[in-house]
Amino acid sequence: MTGKHDAGRRWSIGEVAQASGMTVRALHHYDEIGLLRASERTASGHRRYTERDVRRLYRVRALRSLGLSLEEIANVLTDSADDLGAMRDLLNAQLRGLEAHAGRIQQLTHRIRGLVGQLDKTSMPDPDQFMTTLEMMSVFETSFTPEQREQLAERRAELGPQAIEAAKTEWAGLVVQLLRHVQDGTPVDDPRVQDLTGRWDALADRFHAEGADGERTKAAAQRMWDENSEKIGNSLPWPVDRMRDLVHYLERAREAR
């Protein structure tokens, strides 16, 4: 192996991906942006993660769960030490987040019980439609704080039904065009791709507040996709794998600006 040669176990990128619930592609992305790089490589060039790398990944994932963007996480990790005190502070913050999350789940359970009770008194929807609706409610409720849900609702109300429907149509058109570029292997710095990426981001910005609040809801939305892409993708007219490829393609296009 090349690298630090510190004592302890080593993990391959596949083992880290499986243990963390991330994709190998996501870990490659973290490596590309300098957020998490494997400290060592084998003689054949394969990444090997050390115990220190695993601790850093835990901190990245914990901070991500608290709503920070990847850029914010990089700044936090640059300014903080990898020691017992820093880890204790992070775990306490994560614990507070989990406790709030548990409270939201309890509220969601109560709401779903009420919904089921109402449906029992009338006609029952198609089972697949019913389950999809509940899954999407769960994803949304547990991904955004109550304040963030209020902010998103206010933005939708400001836009109005007609603007929202127009945005949906525009978004679907962007998906079709971008998927074609993904399939054709168009370089992400191609002016056509950059134009579509800019239009995609501008369209998304309409649904978020300005300033720090908007950045936090954007980060929460990204985290919602990262953690629930299978559920969300199943409700879209395009294959989940293609949509995952599209999201990664957009990330690379933004980095190429």
Distance CA 166, CA 162 (A): 6
- Residue ending a domain, among 79, 101, 124, is 79
Q: Can you give the pLDDT at residue 110?
A: 58
| CB-based burial label for 144 (10 Å; 0-12, 13-18, 19+) | buried
Residue 54 covered by a domain: yes
pLDDT in tens, 79-90: 666 667 766 777
**Are the C-beta atoms of 63 and 90 separated by less than 8 Å?**
yes
- The SS3 of residue 41 is strand
pLDDT in tens, 214-256: 888 888 888 878 777 777 777 678 888 888 899 899 989 998 8
**Are the C-beta atoms of 159 and 206 separated by less than 8 Å?**
yes
- Residue ending a domain, among 79, 111, 133, is 79
Burial 191-227 (b: 16+ CB within 10 A, else e): eebbebbebbeeeeeebbbeeeebbbbbbbbbbbbeb
Residue 50 covered by a domain: yes
CATH of the domain at 44: 1.10.1660.10
Residue 233 covered by a domain: yes
Distance CA 116, CA 213 (A): 34
> 51-65 and 211-234 are packed helices; what angle lies between their axes, rounded to 10 degrees?
100
Residue 225 covered by a domain: yes
**Which residue type does 52 have?**
R
Residue 125 has φ and ψ, to the nearest 5°, of: -65, 170
Residue in the block written with tokens 């006609």:
123
| Rounded (5°) CA angle 44-49-52 | 145
- The structure tokens listed for 176 are 């079709």
Closest CA to 205 of 215, 196, 192: 215
Note whether 167 and 248 are same-domain residues.
yes
Residue 33 covered by a domain: yes
Enter the pTM of the model: 0.48
- Residue ending a domain, among 61, 79, 97, is 79
Distance CA 206, CA 176 (A): 20
The Cβ of residue 69 has, within 10 Å, a number of other Cβ atoms equal to 17
Mean pLDDT by 10 residues, the chain (257 residues): 61 89 87 92 92 88 75 78 70 71 59 62 50 52 69 78 85 92 94 94 86 81 78 76 90 89
Task: Please give the helix or strand (H or E) that residue 141 lies within, else none.
Answer: helix 127-143
Residue 91 covered by a domain: no
Residue 42 covered by a domain: yes
Q: In total, how many domains does the chain have? A: 2
The parent domain of residue 32 ranges over 13-79
Beta bridge partners, 40, equal 48
